[in-house]
């Protein structure tokens, strides 16, 4: 979750938490944040937030 400069809450989902994030966003009446996860052959992960979160306050 992040709070952007306008104090707007944004929720992003991980690979295994999409359902929970959708329920939370439905309750909050907020859209789910756009994010992408890539799994490399060696098991490493790349998580890319497809929205600007620069300067936002984040918590997990």
What pLDDT score does 58 carry?
Answer: 74
- Tens-digit pLDDT profile for residues 13-42: 888 889 999 999 999 899 999 999 999 999
Q: Which range of residues forms the domain containing residue 35?
A: 2-51
What pLDDT score does 10 carry?
Answer: 85
In a domain, 41, yes or no: yes
In a domain, 6, yes or no: yes
In a domain, 58, yes or no: no
What mean pLDDT do residues 34-56 have? Answer: 91
In a domain, 35, yes or no: yes
In a domain, 60, yes or no: no
In a domain, 56, yes or no: no
Q: How far is CA 11 from CA 1, 22, 50, 58, 60, in A?
A: 4, 9, 12, 10, 10
How many domains is the chain partitioned into structurally?
1
In a domain, 57, yes or no: no
Q: What is the pTM of this model?
A: 0.71
**Higher pLDDT, residue 2 or 43:** 43
What pLDDT score does 39 carry?
Answer: 94
In a domain, 10, yes or no: yes
């Amino acid at each position: 979750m992040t709070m952007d400069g306008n104090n707007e809450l944004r929720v992003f989902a991980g690979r295994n938490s999409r359902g929970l994030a959708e329920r939370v966003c439905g309750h909050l009446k907020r859209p789910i944040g756009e994010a992408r996860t890539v799994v490399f052959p060696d098991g490493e992960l790349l998580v890319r937030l497809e929205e600007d979160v620069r300067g936002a306050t984040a918590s997990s």
